Amino acid sequence: MRIDIITVLPDILESPFNHSIIKRAKEKGLAEIYIHNLRDYSENKHHKVDDYSFGKGAGMVMAIQPIEKAIETLKGERDYDEIIFTTPDGKLFNQKAANSLSLLENIIILCGHYKGIDQRIRDHYITMEISVGDYVLTGGELAAAIITDSVVRLLPGVLSDETSALTDSFQDNLLSPPVYTRPAEYKGMKVPDVLLSGNDKLVDDWKHDQAIERTKKLRPDLYKKFLDD
């Protein structure tokens, strides 16, 4: 899978993609992640990528020219399945969306900034708009890192135990059950007996019941989706 990220602050994205699971995915050749500095595509002599908004309004707007050139340059090299714009007014990102994106081959992520981008880019180039939450970030770089991380870890061969991703929270509109490790007893605090029983069916049933109870208590909105499904 190839992910091209267009940003005005490329340095922010260097660290998240050079450690842990994402780093291993890149080293294995399972994921290619390329960071593109939007200023490199600006035809302004000062490499500006923003301008004032028509119709007044506070804040600057990301200009159409450098974004159009960046996207067209990339599209001239390969076909893209999705061109994603990270924006607070996009569709809320969830595990289902991550699963769908993980099946694609090439995607572009355009990081939002300032008061947003020229609407003509959204109208003519963007195929998917994503928000990572009902709040506003300084820029879309952190959102792009979240999307990339959640998608890449789902690629076959990235995780050492591929079943791990299938049991993550939200995969079935349920939160994950509690987890424990050794020792079985610590200062009087014990691991539930069922997890020490060696009976796989009892363990699986317990985990499922716990996932339901935790979701019902902590995320009633998800619990309703679980019941509806």
CB–CB of 62/107 below 8 Å? no
Q: How far apart are CA 83 and CA 64, in angstroms?
A: 15
Q: Answer yes or no: do 27 and 99 share one domain.
A: yes
The predicted model scores a pTM of 0.89
Average pLDDT, the chain: 94
Nearest to residue 39, comparing CAs of 115, 127, 113? 113
State the CATH number of the domain containing residue 178.
1.10.1270.20
Domain housing 102: 2-152
Confidence of residue 160 (pLDDT cuts 50, 70, 90): confident
Residue-wise pLDDT for 63-118, tens only, equals 999 999 999 999 999 999 999 999 999 999 999 999 999 999 999 999 999 889 99
Quickly list DSSP for 74-95: HHTTS--SEEEEEEEEEEEP-H
CA distances in angstroms from 48 to 41, 137, 140, 171, 210, listed in the order given:
10, 21, 18, 42, 53
Among the candidates 98, 122, 152, a domain finishes at 152
Q: How far apart are CA 180 and CA 68, in angstroms?
A: 50
Structure confidence at residue 56 (pLDDT): 78
Q: Answer yes or no: do 146 and 184 share one domain.
A: no
> Residue 161: inside a domain, yes or no?
no
Residue-wise pLDDT for 177-210, tens only, equals 999 999 999 999 999 999 999 999 999 999 999 9
> Residue 93: inside a domain, yes or no?
yes
Structure confidence at residue 171 (pLDDT): 74
Structure confidence at residue 165 (pLDDT): 66
Among the candidates 152, 182, 202, a domain finishes at 152
Structure confidence at residue 8 (pLDDT): 96
> Residue 198: inside a domain, yes or no?
yes
- Domains identified in the chain, total number: 2
Q: Answer yes or no: do 83 and 180 share one domain.
A: no
Q: Answer yes or no: do 101 and 147 share one domain.
A: yes
57 has pLDDT over 80: no
